[in-house]
Structure 1
Amino acid sequence: MTRLLVECTHVFKHPKVNSGIQRVVRNVINRLPPEADGVECLPVVLLKGRLHRVTRLAALDSPLLNAVATFGERLERLAHRFWQSHQRLDGQVRSRLARRLLYVGYRLASFGAFGLPLRLIERINRHHLPKRCTPLQHRPGDQLVLLDSSWHSDFFPQAERLKRDGVGIVAVIYDLIPLTHPQFYDTRLVEVFGQWFDWIARTADGYLAISATVRDQVHDELRRRIGTTQADRRWFDYFHLGSELDLHTAGDVVEPQLERLFGAAGPVFLMVSTLEPRKNHGYLLDAFELAWAAGSSARLCIAGRVGWKCDALLERIRRHPELNRRLFMFNDLSDTSLEFAYARSAALVFPSFVEGFGLPLVEAMQRGLPAMGSDIAVFREIGGEFMAYFDLQAPQSLAGQVLAFERSGEFPAPRPVTDWRWIGWREASAQLAQRTARNVLEAPQAQAGAHAHCP
């Protein structure tokens, strides 16, 4: 009997992280239907090499226990890196005496710095873990759906054991950007992501992307890596993401500076994303500087946590003569404050070089906020004729749209955003479950293990 085991290990361990993928995982899991096309759907995590069914994704209402759990996770990662360093050094040392001393030092450090604290933390965790999950026995025919950001996980050997026991593997793909645009990321992430994709290329039975654009990219990449014959034995599909801000509650307080920003006269253009090179904030600043020079009174509000490779951007913003006049930046807005900003902005601006989906576009447009975005395929897929698109090679293209909208009051899209419709997270979760179940049930059973060990 087939079951969909939808994996959410990283979010289970870090339930308060609220960036893109974590938001997707949390919302899909919290609205996961009990069944799809007669197939039971269960949220699961892989902990200590074992499957557990999730009964509570949110953290417990105990700051002390949550702090202990977080410290334990960090210590485990540190211990793993320490072991990897030891393995590298051991392979480089030629002297038997030096290798012996290295081994003794490793054992002492492992026992004192990692072993004892981790055993104590495990005992503490053992008491509260049953309040959030229970052990689950896998069955042949089950499908492990890797919904979470599994590229930085260490459960691949466990997943492979499940596969040998007859469990199918389904990989959810958010994008291939570390492969296609490695210049936007740190070298280590590019390496980790590449290793992960090699693993799912060999191991997964099916691939579920978050847009048709990414689905086609994944299919092409699989054909390139493992050949058309092997790739065509897999299935490829996609689902779309929802739009609600689930951590928004009526009683929460809006950031005071944000309230003051929207309380003043003049239109506000909102940019929502992590500060990182791919999001192209430099182009945004260039465009608004051109608009300001041409007499625009528009204000630009940048909302998003600080990411990577953005030191020069942060310095430019902090030294900008329009900072806190016509340029504003918020790096830690709550969902309540973000909802407030979406409701009061004139438009969303999104100049990203490349995306797998573009969640802020959906969040904005579903609330009736028109969006201006870079002219890339996935934005066309999502926004269609309801968005305005600008040329990434010419900041004047966006500046001109801002000026024209400000002066005429007519948004430069062929169709009004009020006519645009999108799904919510409940429908998104149902799409994921239904499309996965359909593909699994329709896939020829003879192919189930045919590629488990393909080169």
Structure 2
Amino acid sequence: MNKILVVSEALGEPNHKRGIFHFTRELVRSLAADGHELTLLVETTRRYRKLRRRQQRARLLPDDSRLIELLALYRFLDEADMNAPMMRSGGLRRTIDWLRNKLRAATSLEFAVSFLRAIRLLPTSVKLIENRAAGLEYIPTDLRHLQLFGEFQLESGFYTYQDTSALLRLPPPRIDARGYDVILVDTPTRVAIRRDRGAKVICVVHDLLPLTDLKLSDVATRLFLSRLFTSLQQADELAFVSNYSMNRFRALLPQFANLPARVVYPRTRFAAPKLAVPAAARTVRPSFVVIVSAEPRKNLAAVTRAFRKLPQADLIVIGYTGDPSLSRNLPPNVKFSGYVDEAEKAALIAEAHGLIMPSLAEGFGVPIIEALAANTPVLCSDIPVFREVAGELADYFDPFSIDDIRASVTRVMARQDALRDSIRERRTELAERFGHHTQARDLLSHRMVAESVIPAALASPAAPAFDSLAAHGT
């Protein structure tokens, strides 16, 4: 078994990177189930110090009690507001707010410590906190993954400092990872890692959209490039979330073809399937679910326009859209739920007549496998990565055509039983390919590819993915 240090913005600070959060959370579950010892690198900030002081002032526990630290850590990591707007390009107010937040962070004690460590004026001391979660009476569902870590490694201002260091061309933050067999960096991160000889750094690349999405700002592209190149200099191996992402990387950055790489699909839980309810027995009004974030590539506007022409069905929009205009003048059959927790999201998907993925570009598409796990039909854009994930089990449409989306919804309403039977028949294969129990094995497997060519299944959008791709994409 390995000692693994997990470097993850999605888990180690409150943020909005939900897709990365899902990937890493399921991976942590899989690694823990296989018996690996896990440590999470957590950023400490002014807010964390305030929470810790508040616990200490209560004087109910000894000053050296680790429970004080754990309470502060868990509460700090529980502060992510998934409905809060993400920073987008344009707009004087957003620019001022962004600069104000950066200035506040740059004048903090934690930022100064991280900077002094980066320029080697302070040593990279390690502070570990044993995760004795049994002392906590109740842990919310969205925080239960934290129980899987044996320890937390605290780093002052680490994630906050990395972007500022990229913008101002300062040295990257440094961490001491000696004593670990594997350092897992779950998305390109600007970090200099001190480690033992023989220790392995694995960097996960979800997609290259910050480079190729024309709707993202130049600042976002610069930050991502800085993170990416720093990670590539540190990495011994790369992990991609799909063959599509890996091949895009090889095409855009051929100078890194020498780095060993593998595909580790995002995972979900395939519980025992419920008994199917025949379509004739369903009396509820048809409903469809779409899961979005504040990005134009999610293509929500096209789906809502399609449902104007589908008064016989409802559309439930999960997530934060980032554009208030999208929620104005909606047809009565379109409802916005905002952010919901994992249990409610799973219930909405399971009860729906179909899950819609209308994205114009993705690195994978986690809601697809969540729908397949729930035996819910999938309707998605006809793009290569969705063909790789869903194969012939989805109904595809042209994401730029409102009429094509409407026709897809109509087909799925008419073929409910047949579509659900097809998913059920492939359940064993789907669970092996996308079930969380195989994710750790795929990440730590010795099977890798140093170079990759685009598989035939991706060259032809109409080719079913399951018949021509390896079970785990390696």
The normalised TM-score by structure 2 is 0.62
Q: In 2, Cα distance between the equivalents of 1:113 and 1:198?
A: 22
AA of the residue aligned to 2:441? A
Contact 1:385–1:413 (8 Å) recurs in 2 = no
What is the root-mean-square deviation in Å for CA atoms of aligned residues?
4.2
Q: Give the match for residue 300 of structure 1.
A: 315
Question: Which shows bigger deviation, 363-372 or 296-305?
Answer: 296-305
Which of 281, 290, 296 does residue 277 from structure 1 map onto?
296
Q: Which residue pairs with 1:146 in the alignment?
A: 185
5 Å-filtered alignment, 1:385-396, equals: 385-396=392-403
Quick one: structure 1 residues 393 and 413, their matched pair in 2 at CA, closer, same or farther if it must change by over 3 Å?
farther
Structure 2: runs of 5+ lacking an equivalent: 45-66, 80-97, 114-125, 133-149, 154-175, 272-281, 452-474
- Once the two structures are TM-superposed, the CA of residue 415 in structure 1 deviates from its matched residue by 8.2
Distance in 1 (CA, whole Å) between partners of 2:264 and 2:109 is 46
Report whether the alignment pairs 1:175 with 2:174. no
SS in 1 for 2:31: coil
Q: Which residue of 2 aligns with 1:446?
A: none
Aligned to 1:447: none
Q: Would you say the 8 A contact 2:26–2:436 is kept in 1?
A: yes
Q: In structure 2, do the counterparts of structure 1 residues 369 and 393 end up closer, same or farther at CA, with 3 Å as the change threshold? A: same
Aligned: 1:316 with 2:341: no
The residue type paired with residue 29 of structure 1 is: V
**Cα distance, 1:347 vs. partner?**
0.6
- 1:118-171 C-alpha deviation (Å, 9 max, x unpaired): xxxxxxx9796664516796269x442312x343xx5x12x1x338x5544321
What CA distance in whole angstroms lies between the structure 2 residues aligned with 1:439 and 1:4?
21
Identify the match of residue 443 of structure 2 among 405, 429, 432: 432
In the TM superposition, 1:31-70 aligns within 5 A as: 31-32=30-31, 41-46=36-41, 66-67=74-75
* Superposition deviation, residue 41 in structure 1: 4.3
Task: Write the distance in 1 (CA, Å) between the matches of 2:152 and 2:246.
Answer: 34
> Structure 2 matches for 1:208-227, cutoff 5 A?
208-223=239-254, 226=255
- Structure 1 distance, partners of 2:100, 2:131, is 25
8 Å Cα contact 1:275-1:281 kept in structure 2: no
When residues 414 and 425 of structure 1 are mapped into structure 2, their CA distance, relative to the original with a 3 A threshold, is: closer
Shift of 1:196: 1.3
Equivalent in 192, 200, 219 of residue 231 of structure 2 = 200
Q: 1:78 to 1:287 in 2, by over 3 A?
A: closer
Question: Comparing both chains, which one has the higher relative contact order based on Cα–Cα distances under 8 Å and sequence gaps of 6 or more?
Answer: 1
**Secondary structure in structure 1 of the residue aligned to 2:363:** coil
Q: Do the aligned residues in 1 keep the contact of 2:188 with 2:204 (CA within 8 Å)? A: no
Aligned 8 A contact 2:318 2:336 in 1: yes
Hey, what's the Cα distance between the residues in 1 that align with 2:261 and 2:110?
48
Cα 1:236–1:326 change in 2 (3 A) is same
AA partner of residue 391 (structure 1):
D
Q: Where does residue 60 of structure 2 map in the other structure?
A: none
The amino acid across from 1:235 in the alignment is P
Residue type of the alignment partner of 1:20: G
**Contact 1:5/1:44, CA 8 A, preserved across alignment:** yes
Q: Distance in 1 between matches of 2:100 and 2:401?
A: 48
Compared CA separation, residues 70 and 138, structure 1 to 2 (3 A): same
2:400 counterpart of 1:377? no
Match of 1:397 in 2: 404
User: Hey, what does 2:425 align to over in structure 1?
Assistant: 419
SS at match of 1:32: helix
Query: Structure 1: which 5+ residue stretches go unaligned?
Result: 50-58, 72-76, 86-108, 116-124, 247-262, 444-455
Residue 133 of structure 1: aligned partner: 151
Distance in 1, matches of 2:238 and 2:42, equals: 23
Query: For residue 344 of structure 1, what is the aligned residue in structure 2?
Result: 351
Query: 2: CA distance between counterparts of 1:439 and 1:112?
Result: 39
Partner of 2:27: 28
Provide the identity percentage: 19
Whichever residue aligns with residue 145 of structure 1, its letter is L
Distance between the aligned counterparts of 1:393 and 1:17, measured in 2? 27
Which secondary structure state, in structure 1, belongs to the residue aligned with residue 22 of structure 2? helix
Quote how far apart the aligned CAs of 1:31 are.
Answer: 2.2
Q: Partner residue of 2:367?
A: 360
Asked if 1 retains the 8 angstrom alpha-carbon contact of 2:11 and 2:77, the reply is no
Decide whether aligned partners of structure 1 residues 9 and 80 sit closer, same or farther in structure 2, where only a CA change above 3 A counts: farther
The answer to whether the 8 Å contact 2:12/2:40 transfers is: no
Q: Deviations over 1:230-286 (max 9, x none)?
A: x3432121022212399xxxxxxxxxxxxxxxx994200110232421111011112
Pair 4,267 (structure 1): closer, same or farther in 2 beyond 3 Å:
same
Contact 1:169 1:204 in 2 (8 A): yes
Q: Which has the larger radius of gyration?
A: 1
CA distance in 1, matches of 2:110, 2:203: 38
Query: Tell me, what secondary structure is at the counterpart of 2:362?
Result: coil
How many residue pairs match? The answer is 345
Structure 2 letter corresponding to 1:338: K
8 Å contact from structure 1 (residues 361, 371) kept in 2: yes
Q: What one-letter code is carried by the residue in structure 1 that aligns with 2:213?
A: H
Q: Which has the higher helix share?
A: 1
Partner of 2:118: none
